[in-house]
A and B are shown apart, each in its own frame.
Chain A
Amino acid sequence: MKRDRRHFLGATAALTATLAAPTVWGQGSGRPKVVVIGGGAGGATAARYIAKDSDGGIDVTLVEPSRDFYTCFFSNLVIGGFREMASIRHSYGKLASEFGVNVVHDWAIGIDRDAKTVTLAGGAVLPYDRLVVSPGIDFVQGSVPGWDVSAQHAMPHAYKAGSQTELLKHQIEAMPEGGLFCMIAPPNPFRCPPGPYERISMVAHVLKERNPTAKILVADPKEKFSKQALFEDGWETHYGGMIERLGPDFGGGNVSVDPAAMTVDIDGEVNEVAVCNVIPKQKAGRIAELAGLADETGFCPVVPATMQSRMDENIHVLGDATNQGDMPKSGFAANSQAKVAAMAIRGALTGSKVFPAKFTNTCWSLISPENGIKVGATYEATEDKIAKVDGFISQLGEDADQRMETFVESVGWYSGITTDMFG
């Protein structure tokens, strides 16, 4: 379908100005329209639940550039050799065929909040009654001096799963004997709080097997991190002497890199590195920023009870892109928030019953083979924020059976959440 885009945009604006709901696009045009930007744990779940629970009463379009989606969760296990790449790859076929979601593989490049339309890189303009924005994270330019996206081959971030995961895995396996692996850890807040530290565990596992004289250096701008005592205990037990972490007191926050020379400068001391994993400072996905949904934190403030943007009541923001309060930026959290948003959206568009919001999160991490740990909490919606109600964490000194059970449980969770996202 070829149309003059400028004219098309103009027509959209005119129509939405005169009609309660835009009605000219395609079949089922009388139904309320929801557009979902981003097909990860937040967006895919929201699309599926809105389509499923409205029984076709709502026209749902999911905009996601990737045809094959690799989950960030469990991508560290691919690096560690505990999962295959193919096992973390998912597609959107069932959302389309079983749940009636209109899956569009394209980039959303603009949101016109007045006209209530989303513009795609391919030129299409999608009208919406409610918009779900779940774009994940992008990196803050210049946050690690010397690094930008053009350097991500020399120094991968591997913080969006897929080719970067494979690249980093390959680089670790190809490290020269006794070489140095360096991670530049991100400042708060960032995607998957245990993620960098689970990754360190997985790298240590690979090196212990293949390259036991290699070393791991972590430059970290943070004093503390999630499940710190559990990770440090596991590192000491399983990878004693291999891992060194420099916190802010030791210059871990004063870092620059030179990808061409493969060096890392930590507080004036230059280290030659064999592999460098740069995880930059993060912000909400670019599209959220472009649409004016982010605040000075770089993330998008939301109304906890409905996940509506505080900038625009017709837009719901989910997952890593949000600034919501106490929940971590995890796939589990995004999935949980998506269900609250889906219920609120159905309530608003079809009058279905709306129940009080409940949120949950659990993050599992693998330290060494069959040695799993977890941390989790439940949350409620208050006026100001999503607030923690109750929580738990794995204990130091748990026996091997308990750790094995936790790992097995994490495998079950992976199967559960990916089925919940993709059908």
Chain B
Amino acid sequence: MTRAPRQIVARGAVLAVLSLAPAIPAGASEFGDVEKGAELWKKCRPCHQIGEDARNRIGPNLNFIFGRKAAEVEEFKYSKAMGQAREEGLVWTLETLDAFIEEPKSVVPGTKMRFLGLSDANERADVLAWLRENSDNPRDIPEAAPTAVGTDHNVAPEILAIVGDPEYGEYLSSECLTCHRADGEMEGIPSVTGWPAEDFVIAMHAYKDKARDHPVMQMMAGRLSNEEIAAIAAYFAELGG
């Protein structure tokens, strides 16, 4: 970090007050704790990227999210519902983001976003603080931005180049589906449905090489061959399509 987070939060708060003062609900009048927000971002990052080089993944990239119209990111395929929300004038502000993160389906019924929501107002404030810091000025974010976490593992190009067999992947995936729901709904276990295949392969190899620490996933990935990982990745990418 090249800047003190607190300063940025304060700046963000001022901006928010200036632009949104009349509309801010009581619970969202202040940004929360950026560091806590960074922890909570783990819930978002399976689907969203933010910061330098952020791309659209399962969800759109979240750069410049504040003040952006709904369904604004080019080349991202939004749900019909989100397109409709845009028509109806939905703009992402502190207030609307707070409501959306609390319960996505109540703000935009029919959204593709499967996240059930954060009921704790303080946690939402923390996430918003983190989003604010990282989305307003992505050019200023140092290279080791938090977004790098999902795809930071080095996987040899020849492994990434393996073309997975989705039929084999379908059988292998049945092991995953004991915990990860095929429909992409998630309660305490993240969705893997609709992941871009390359992200999936990198994440699985990170577990296999024990660069990511989760004992169940290390065990599951540990006995999968490179071809098997590619097959599962191909299947789950297709499943979300």
Q: Which residues of A are at the interface with B, using a C-beta cutoff of 8 A? A: 49, 53, 332, 335-336, 339, 343, 353, 355, 358, 360, 362, 374, 376-378, 389-392, 408-413, 415-417, 419-420
Q: Which residues of B contact A (CB under 8 A)?
A: 167-168, 170-172, 174-175, 177-183, 185-189, 215-216, 218-220, 222-223
With both chains docked as a complex, state the minimum distance between the C-beta of B159 and any C-beta of chain A, in angstroms.
Answer: 20
Task: State in angstroms the CA–CA spacing of A360 and B179 once bound together.
Answer: 11
Instruction: Give 24 CB contacts A-B under 8 Å.
Output: A53-B170, A332-B178, A336-B175, A336-B178, A339-B174, A339-B175, A355-B172, A358-B175, A360-B175, A360-B220, A362-B216, A376-B216, A378-B223, A389-B223, A390-B222, A409-B188, A409-B216, A412-B187, A413-B179, A415-B185, A415-B189, A416-B177, A416-B189, A420-B178
Q: How far is the CA of A335 from the CA of B177 in the complex (A)?
A: 10
Chain B: which residue is nearest A421 at the CB level?
B178
Q: How far is the CA of A256 from the CA of B204 in the complex (A)?
A: 52
Please give, as numbers and ranges, the residues of chain A lying within 8 Å of B168 by CB-CB distance. Answer: 353, 355
Say yes or no: A374 contacts B216, CB within 8 Å: yes
Partner of B182, one of A355, A389, A419: A419
B170 CB contacts on chain A under 8 angstroms: 53
> Which residues of A sit under 8 angstroms from B186, Cβ to Cβ?
412
Residue of B with least CB distance to A416: B179
| Nearest A residue to B179, CB-CB | A416
A377 & B219 in contact (Cβ 8 Å cutoff): yes
User: Is there contact, CB below 8 Å, between B178 and A417?
Assistant: yes
9 nearest A-B pairs in the assembled complex, by CB-CB distance: A412-B188, A412-B189, A408-B188, A392-B215, A416-B179, A339-B174, A411-B188, A415-B187, A412-B187
B178 CB contact (under 8 Å) in A335, A377, A389, A410: A335
What is the bound-complex CA distance between A417 and B178, given in angstroms? 5
A376 CA to B175 CA in the complex, in Å? 13
CB atoms of B179 and A378 under 8 A apart: no
B63 shortest CB reach to chain A, Å = 29
**In whole angstroms, what is the CA distance A130 to B153 when docked?**
46
Q: Is the CB of A376 within 8 A of B219?
A: yes
| Nearest-neighbor residue (CB-CB) of A377 within chain B | B219
Residues of A within 8 A of B188 (CB): 408-413, 415
Taken together as a complex, chains A and B put the C-alpha atoms of A392 and B186 apart, in Å, by: 24
Is A419 in contact with B187, judged by CB distance below 8 angstroms? no
A224–B223 alpha-carbon span in the complex (Å): 29
Q: Is the CB of A391 within 8 A of B175?
A: no
A contact residues around B218 at 8 Å (CB): 392
- Distance A362 CA – B189 CA, assembled complex (angstroms): 14
8 Å CB contact of B183 from A343, A409, A419: A419
Q: A335-B178, A343-B171, A355-B171 are in contact. List 14 more A-B contacts (CB 8 A).
A: A339-B171, A358-B172, A362-B179, A374-B216, A376-B219, A378-B223, A392-B218, A410-B188, A411-B188, A416-B180, A416-B181, A419-B181, A419-B182, A420-B182
Considering residues B174, B177, B180, B218, which has the most beta carbons from chain A within 10 angstroms of its beta carbon? B174
CB distance from B174 to the nearest CB of A (A): 4
Residues of B with C-beta under 8 A to A339: 171, 174-175
Query: In the complex, A353 Cα to B231 Cα: how many Å?
Result: 15
CA distance A165 to B174 in the complex (A): 30
Q: Which of B167, B182, B215, B223 contacts A353 (CB 8 A)?
A: B167
